[in-house]
Structure 1
Amino acid sequence: MTRLMMIRHAPTPWNRAGLLQGRTDIALDPAGEGWVATWRLPAEAADLLPVASPLARARRTAELLLGAPPPTDPRLAEMHYGAWEGQRLADLRARLGEAMTANEARGWDFTPPKGESPAMVLARLAPWLRERAGQEPGTLALCHNGIIRVVMARAAGWDFRGKPPAKLRDGTAHLFRLAPDGTPSVERLNIPLTDSPKPEGPAS
């Protein structure tokens, strides 16, 4: 089985404000870039082939962490939140009420207006996972929380209803194994990249 290590980009101003970013191309700010400077790849990342989402926050995180920009793949772009981008999830739940509850209860088929469901994200990731399953020694993917959650859900059999099997923490790496058909399994989650605390609060 082939190794796949996935790392979420460093925080942006929108992350710290609790706003859904999706495909909105928000860059890291100095606080985010400074935090990445404290990150160090774990031993399990040795010799892995790097690739990044084309969105600026992931590309810049990869460049700072690796010392050079890696190739990008559009299939690693964040889940599209459509009309909800730039809004807070808590505000959407409060405003939409039962309609939001019913949408979230759809699990894999939860879909923001004009956006993507987790099932749609998996559909575009599946060919990429199959490709990477055949590439040794494995892959290091710099991407997004929504992408990693879909891979974790597929690996753990979680249907996006109720609590996830694990909380994916910022400033960590997540190691999976890919079967020859691209099916992922969890090897180790939340491998620390740094001892430095995440920058919090509104960006200056």
Structure 2
Amino acid sequence: MTRLALLRHGHTEWNRAGRIQGRSDIPLDAEAQAELAATRLPAPWDAANLWSSPLLRASETARLVAGRAPQTSDALTEMNWGDWEGLRGVDLIADPDSGYRHIEDWSWAFRPPNGESPAEVWTRLRPWLDQLTGDTVAVCHIGIMRVILARAWGWDFDGPAPFKIKRNRLYIVDMTTLTALPDPVRLLTPEAP
């Protein structure tokens, strides 16, 4: 059985400002670095194959939580947000002419201007997913996680998502059956005194 554990990268200045990062290579902020340095992958994930997006915020998160450098794959690079990259979602949704929609109103064909649709992200991810063997941790981005989890949950970006992606949690997918485990696994943190 091959299992994939998905972990979202830590916060950046752009995350905290509500800006769409897409493929911009924004590093973790100091608070995220300190928070992640105090966490680690739980067993058996600490011994799993380790991959990340090549973007700094993901590869740095992987190094901090695993204590080792990940392999990187361009397949794990965040969804291309095209003309919306760097803008704030709240500003785009406030403009009825922008074309921006909340995720519950997307579809597999939803595409930012000059960007990439979830269906295109899936096409990009599929060869990488197909080559996985054994337990694997992939530190990546919310767009990548949404696409994989949407497939695993059978969700078509129509109505509320059956999952909520939070930080510092592993979202496990059985790749043999392409099904998601219902409960994420938290990263380990030092016990309180």
Structure-1 residue corresponding to 2:166:
169
Q: How does 1:106-117 map to 2 (within 5 A)?
A: 106-117=106-117
Letter in 1 for 2:94: A
Structure-2 residue corresponding to 1:151:
148
Q: How does 1:15-164 map to 2 (within 5 A)?
A: 15-97=15-97, 99-101=99-101, 105-132=105-132, 135-136=133-134, 138-164=135-161
- For the 8 Å contact 2:92–2:100, the answer to whether it is kept is yes
- Distance in 2 (alpha carbons) for counterparts of 1:45 and 1:16: 28
> SS of the counterpart of 1:142?
strand
TM-score of the two chains, using structure 2 as the length reference: 0.90
- Distance in 1 (alpha carbons) for counterparts of 2:63 and 2:130: 25
Match of 1:190 among 167, 179, 184: 184
Share of identical aligned residues, percent? 43
TM-score of the two chains, using structure 1 as the length reference: 0.86
Is the alpha carbon distance of 1:41 and 1:101 closer, same or farther for their aligned partners in structure 2, counting shifts above 3 Å?
closer
Gaps of 5+ in 2: none
> SS of the counterpart of 2:121?
helix
Count the aligned residue pairs: 190
Alpha-carbon RMSD across the aligned residues, in angstroms, is 2.1
Is the alpha carbon distance of 1:34 and 1:161 closer, same or farther for their aligned partners in structure 2, counting shifts above 3 Å?
same
Deviation at 1:89, TM superposition (A): 1.3
Gaps of 5+ in 1: 197-204
